[in-house]
Amino acid sequence: MKVIKFGGSSLASSTQLQKVLSIVQADAQRKYVIVSAPGKRFDGDTKVTDLLIQYARQTIHRQDTTAVVQTIIDRYAEIGHGFNVAEAQLTPIFNTIKNLPNQPYADNTYLMAAFKAHGERLNAQLVAAVFAQAGLNARYLDPKDAGMVVTDVPDDAQIIDSSYENIAKWADSDQILVIPGFFAYNRNGQICTFSRGGSDITGAIIARGVNAERYENFTDVDAIYAVNPSLVAEPAAINEMTFREMRELSYAGFSVFHDEALIPAIQGNITVNVKNTNHPEAPGTLIKSNREASSDYPVTGIASSSSFCSLYLRKYLLNKEVGFGRKILTILEDHHVSYEHMPSGIDDLTIIFDEHQLTPELEKDLTQEISAAVHPDEIYFTHDYSILMLVGESMRNRVGIMSRAATALANSNIKLIMVNQGASEISIMFGIHDRDADQAVVALYNEFFKK
Ligand SMILES: Nc1ncnc2c1ncn2[C@@H]1O[C@H](COP(=O)(O)OP(=O)(O)O)[C@@H](O)[C@H]1O
Ligand SMILES: N[C@@H](CC(=O)OP(=O)(O)O)C(=O)O
């Protein structure tokens, strides 16, 4: 059987939901349907998740929420009315939206998580009603009843392993189960969400839990392309890629599939098929444990992400100083800050962070405490930091990829701040300035994909 996830773009309107319904009806194997909140209907539109964030903020700051509540209700009303769903089924959805501020929350972080999660929760209830009305044997399944228990981090939860045994009890369901993506519950029964885009993670968790033959992830592109299609016109489509390739690429900016969603897929060895709701006949991209070694190109994909920042430290004879790294890492640990990479030279060290973790106050505290602990000659944070990643299993067996990439970047006048080749040899990472990121991706694409 298959687990099938529809992203916000596939559920943005009643017209889109009609396509979703046809896709589910077309294959009896499609038993577990994971849904996101309604997404953007057109460029410049607002996702329901972002409307709910606005609603939560206004609630926290005791501002007037009338307009945003109406906008959210209108999104669900358009979908419901498009399928003639009875008012008796729509009214509880509208009332839940209105009553979100009146529920008890431990603090504002849980309030925010619960507001956000209702984008998916109410959409799954609505989609289940539409499916049932269309004659499918379908019903809503809440993550709590599915047995999904997550860590107590309201906006960045991780699944707890014992959940998989609970989910396994839902294998071989004779009904179509419509499950909201993006959130689950901590051990105290409070709602916690995954990070943004996290409905992909729910789909992968359910796929592993019920041991699905395939996890189909429906979105709005015909395939995963070698580069973000907003940067290059008609880029090469990737037919097959490995889990490791996709994990590196999604980490570095391929927003089409969440990097954390690869972990349950790898653990359960579930092949993922990214497909287009608007062209379900197109084969899409397969992500699996191994792929044919032969490929037209030495590189599978090129990605960049600007969501990083770095802390640079310089001190002469740093390489001889025992405990230098430990002292810094202890300070980071005390502040609950994780780091992404830490390339070093003989006299200097760069620590790269996910910049969402840092605030100006925290940066000030870290700078002061690290200065007091290790007395660097120079220390500063920079936010003008992007990571550029060249990824491909075939790179391992080829000589000269690094020199071709560096030459292409140099010819485009792109300054390299950092270079790092992972031990697995399937990726090369460059640190570059944000302003160079798009041009760098295009330069590498032209070098490796233009014949
Ligand atoms: N390499 C890539 N290949 C395909 N799409 C990509 C790539 N990198 C970024 N994207 C973007 O990802 C989008 C799909 O992801 P997302 O917006 O999260 O969809 P959904 O609403 O289905 O979850 C595409 O429309 C495209 O703009
Ligand atoms: N709706 C959530 C979760 C999600 O996965 O959405 P989408 O499938 O539209 O990327 C978000 O916007 O983050």
Give the model confidence (pLDDT) of 376-422 as tens digits.
999 999 999 999 999 999 888 788 899 999 999 999 999 999 898 87
CA of 354 to the centre of ligand 2 (A): 20
182 lines ligand 1 (CB under 6 A): no
Q: Does position 70 have pLDDT exceeding 80, yes or no?
A: yes
Strands 183-185 and 191-193 come out as: antiparallel
Q: What is the pLDDT of residue 172?
A: 86
Mean pLDDT throughout 414-442?
A: 91
Q: Does position 290 have pLDDT exceeding 80, yes or no?
A: yes
| Band of pLDDT at residue 115, cut at 50, 70 and 90 | very high
Residues forming CATH 3.40.1160.10 domain(s) in the chain: 2-220
Q: What single-letter amino acid sits at 137?
A: N
181 lines ligand 2 (CB under 6 A): yes
8 lines ligand 2 (CB under 6 A): yes
38 lines ligand 2 (CB under 6 A): no
Q: Which two tokens stand for residue 281?
A: 């006949």
Q: Give me the CATH topology for the region 301-449.
A: VC0802-like (3.30.2130)
Give the residue whose CA is nearest to atom 17 of ligand 1: 256
Binding residues for ATP: 219-220, 225
Q: Does position 293 have pLDDT exceeding 70, yes or no?
A: no
Pocket-testing residue among 46, 196, 250, 356, ligand 2, by greatest number of atoms within 8 A of Cβ:
196
- When mean pLDDT is compared across 7-11, 278-282, 304-308, 342-346, the lowest value belongs to 342-346
- When mean pLDDT is compared across 26-30, 234-238, 342-346, the lowest value belongs to 342-346
Domain 2-220 has CATH 3.40.1160.10: yes
Give the residue whose CA is nearest to atom 8 of ligand 2: 7
Contacts with 74 (C-beta within 8 Å, 6 or more apart), sequence order: none
16 lines ligand 2 (CB under 6 A): no
CA of 160 to the centre of ligand 2 (A): 21
Phi, psi of 116 (to 5 degrees): -60, -45
- When mean pLDDT is compared across 42-46, 405-409, 417-421, 436-440, the lowest value belongs to 417-421
- Cα–Cα distance list, 380 to 311, 355, 370, 377 (Å): 6, 14, 11, 11
CA of 170 to the centre of ligand 1 (A): 30
254 lines ligand 1 (CB under 6 A): yes
Q: Structure pTM? A: 0.93
Burial profile 46-79: b = 16 or more Cβ within 10 angstroms, e = fewer: bbbbbbbbbbbbbbeeeeebeebbeebbebbbbb
Q: What is the pLDDT of residue 405?
A: 96
Q: What is the pLDDT of residue 295?
A: 67
Question: Could you give the angle at the alpha carbon of 97 between the alpha carbons of 95 and 101, nearest 5°?
Answer: 105
For residue 12, give the ligand 1 atom closest to its CA: 21
Mean pLDDT throughout 347-360?
A: 93
Q: Does position 451 have pLDDT exceeding 80, yes or no?
A: no
Q: Does position 91 have pLDDT exceeding 80, yes or no?
A: yes
Give the residue whose CA is nearest to atom 3 of ligand 2: 197
Q: What is the pLDDT of residue 298?
A: 87
143 lines ligand 1 (CB under 6 A): no
| Band of pLDDT at residue 442, cut at 50, 70 and 90 | very high
Q: Does position 241 have pLDDT exceeding 70, yes or no?
A: yes
Residues forming CATH 3.30.2130.10 domain(s) in the chain: 301-449
CA of 40 to the centre of ligand 2 (A): 10
For residue 7, give the ligand 2 atom closest to its CA: 8
Mean pLDDT throughout 272-301?
A: 91
441 lines ligand 1 (CB under 6 A): no
Mean pLDDT throughout 346-355?
A: 93
Work out the number of other CB atoms within 10 angstroms of the CB of residue 383. Answer: 12
Beta bridge partners of 218: 6, 275
Please give the Cα distance from 365 to 81 (Å, whole number): 53
Q: Does position 238 have pLDDT exceeding 80, yes or no?
A: yes
- When mean pLDDT is compared across 81-85, 315-319, 330-334, the lowest value belongs to 315-319
Work out the mean pLDDT of the chain and round it to a whole number.
95
ipTM confidence? 0.98
Pocket-testing residue among 4, 220, 256, 273, ligand 1, by greatest number of atoms within 8 A of Cβ:
256
| Band of pLDDT at residue 425, cut at 50, 70 and 90 | confident
pLDDT in tens, 303-321: 999 999 999 999 998 888 8
Nearest to 65 by CA among 103, 119, 101: 101
Q: Are 375 and 345 in contact (CB under 8 A)?
A: no
